[in-house]
Structure 1
Amino acid sequence: MKLRFVGQPFADHPNLVDFIEHARDDGFDELKIAVAWAKRSGLGRVWDALEEFRTQGGKVLLILGVSEGGATREGLELALQVADEVYVFHDPRRTFHPKVYFACSSGQRSLLVGSSNLTAGGLSWNYEASTWVDWDAGEGEDVTDKVSAWFDGLLAKTESCSPLTAELITNLEKSGDIVIGSESRARRVQKKKSDTPEDNDSAIVATISGLFKPVLAGLRKLPGLSSKIAPIASAPGTTVTKKPAIKATGASGTPPMVKKPALAGPAPLPTANVQRRWYKRLDNTAAQQVKSAASNPTGNLRLSQEDASIDHKHYFRDDFFGGLPWTPTEGKDTEQEVVVGFRTWIDGTDHGIQELRISHDLKRISGQGNVPTVLHWGTLASEMRETNYVGLHISVERTTDGEYNLVISQAPRGDYQV
């Protein structure tokens, strides 16, 4: 028997990725996993190892929980592709919270039990602690038999343990009392050469106050997502689209020709599910329409108070976009940022999902008309400069499903909902 302590994320310790690769490389027949939840950010980083294990004849069994809002649609969908059998276990009276990884064969067996879920944080990024035990043939059968029986016992609770299907994912999202998250609604701003996970697993907090500093040395690097998995789908029936950037001025230095708006009708997006709504009338600055050739567009939309009953200095950061994976902006001690996927409809044209950066810095209060939070036009900058939307209204919405809408139209989409 070999016993190891797994102390993530330190460089001199093994991690969960090592265990899964051990299951792939050392001749096991089956890998059984029971975890509180799985995400694309985790499964996508061990996709290659699990795929190779199955190609070699190994079987992967997943039992996943959906308690406490940790499960995501993308994680459940990826689980269907990466495992031979997938089940969802949910007891409405109790939290399903195990983190058990069991590699078995007719001879050797290995077990890892600890705090790691199948997420980017659980694999390598977060501070996690687990025990890893290896047994040769004939060793530890009193323990491993109980582990096998425990898995069998979960599967036998058929009223609480259901095979995962696409239909079940849809029903979970529609249940009303089971929260299924999304890894496409928002993500961290990815830095070049950084291994920071893209999802909101291990949210970055308490950076502005300066009370604590991050540990930067002696840590293991988080592996990247497999190149074999499909790009993330931002919402059913939509795609992330990127518009080419254009220069703010023409070849002669004069402003390019600006089109008139179509003045189309209302956006065909539902309003009944809107939980939060803020809007404002676009002036020249917000609409990116410069008044002279000597001026440059700001590139952003200030999320101001307007006529809404809010404290805009904190509302957008802590409420409207609260709970998203905000991270410190590189090189700026007091600024935080996040990328949000907006279902975008501009004056009669459906732009699909546009990923736009939101930044927040309380230091802006004195320098930008008391507005600390701004939306950066990013991929929509060229659209805003090419067409004069001055006088139209922009409505920004969050739905009960946690999705975000951005609509530019002749009139607001409705009253403020704060």
Structure 2
Amino acid sequence: MRFQIQDPTYGNTRPLRETILNICPDMKMGAGAYAFATSEGVNFLLDGENFRDFISNGEFFLIVGTDDITNVRALKTLKGFEEEFSGNLKVRVYIHDAIGSIFHPKYSWFQSKELGGKLIIGSGNMTKRGMKNNREAYAVIDLDAGQLEEVKREWNRWVMHSRQYLYPLDDAIRIMSQRDRSFIGRFVHALKKAMGIG
């Protein structure tokens, strides 16, 4: 296990994006869940050369939340990558109506071309700030074959449990667009933009 700190002012900083992209060449599949995503953050990670090489022959299942920051623009950017990567990238959007609770995970797991894999779990979201500019922390955990299977089983159980909340991108874009047209939706969007997080 490696504990990493991402801090642009710290000499030993380890940006999350760099770590994810560095392990991609040795992996054949993976998945991840992130609470928030921005168009800039999606491009920052998925347009990386190592991720492109990985996804050309591998598979990745990505789930993003919509409780804050994630907007229609981010979802449309994801849609573009999903179409470009021709079935190798599967994206679902977590939309729920729970009160007093939000969708807030930030992790990815990968299966190696050989044995075992990696689990990267921490505080950074799929935003450029979360993967490079913010002060964040995360751990890279080496998984043996048994541990990887345990992670995959738990992931699959949770995905099955959550299927009523997991929307294809086209449906999510429609739902989010309707939200944005409401007065409150427009107000929140304007506030996010003013804060530089929209």
Task: Give the TM-score, by structure 1 length.
Answer: 0.39
2 CA distance for matches of 1:168 and 1:145? 30
The structure where helix makes up a greater share of residues is 2
2 CA distance for matches of 1:89 and 1:60? 16
Structure 2's unaligned 5+ residue stretches are 83-88
Q: Report Cα offsets for 1:122-160 as digits up to 9, x if no partner.
A: 11100001111123xxx2624x33322332133212211
Q: Conserved in 2, the CA contact under 8 Å of 1:51 and 1:82?
A: no
Is the radius of gyration larger for structure 1 or structure 2?
1
Q: Conserved in 1, the CA contact under 8 Å of 2:116 and 2:146?
A: no
Q: Conserved in 2, the CA contact under 8 Å of 1:43 and 1:118?
A: yes
For residue 166 of structure 2, what is the aligned residue in structure 1? 161
Structure of greater relative contact order (alpha carbons < 8 Å, 6+ residues apart): 2
Q: Conserved in 1, the CA contact under 8 Å of 2:93 and 2:172?
A: no
Q: Percent identity?
A: 22
Question: Alpha-carbon deviation of 1:179?
Answer: 5.2
Write the letter of the residue equivalent to 1:87. R
Write the letter of the residue equivalent to 1:92. D
Give the 3 Å change call, closer, same or farther, for CA 141–179 of structure 1 in structure 2: farther
Give the 3 Å change call, closer, same or farther, for CA 178–115 of structure 1 in structure 2: farther
For residue 323 of structure 1, what is the aligned residue in structure 2? 194
For residue 93 of structure 2, what is the aligned residue in structure 1? 88
Matched, 1:110 2:118: yes
Q: Report Cα offsets for 1:186-223 as digits up to 9, x if no partner.
A: 9xxxxxxxxxxxxx7xxxxxxxxxxxxxxxxxxxxxxx
2 CA distance for matches of 1:178 and 1:92? 16
Structure 1's unaligned 5+ residue stretches are 187-199, 201-321, 327-401, 403-418
Write the letter of the residue equivalent to 2:51. L
Matched, 1:97 2:97: no
2 CA distance for matches of 1:145 and 1:132? 17
Write the letter of the residue equivalent to 1:129. A
Give the 3 Å change call, closer, same or farther, for CA 81–11 of structure 1 in structure 2: farther
2 CA distance for matches of 1:100 and 1:107? 20
For residue 61 of structure 1, what is the aligned residue in structure 2? 61
Write the letter of the residue equivalent to 2:164. E
1:125 aligned residue (129, 133, 139): 133
2 CA distance for matches of 1:97 and 1:24? 24
2 CA distance for matches of 1:23 and 1:179? 38
Matched, 1:5 2:3: yes
Q: Conserved in 2, the CA contact under 8 Å of 1:23 and 1:31?
A: no
2 CA distance for matches of 1:133 and 1:92? 33
**Aligned-pair Cα RMSD in Å:** 2.9
Q: Conserved in 1, the CA contact under 8 Å of 2:72 and 2:176?
A: no
Give the 3 Å change call, closer, same or farther, for CA 39–52 of structure 1 in structure 2: same
SS at match of 1:76: helix
1 CA distance for matches of 2:31 and 2:184? 25
2 CA distance for matches of 1:59 and 1:12? 31
Write the letter of the residue equivalent to 2:13. H
Q: Conserved in 2, the CA contact under 8 Å of 1:110 and 1:134?
A: yes
Matched, 1:141 2:146: yes
SS at match of 1:159: helix
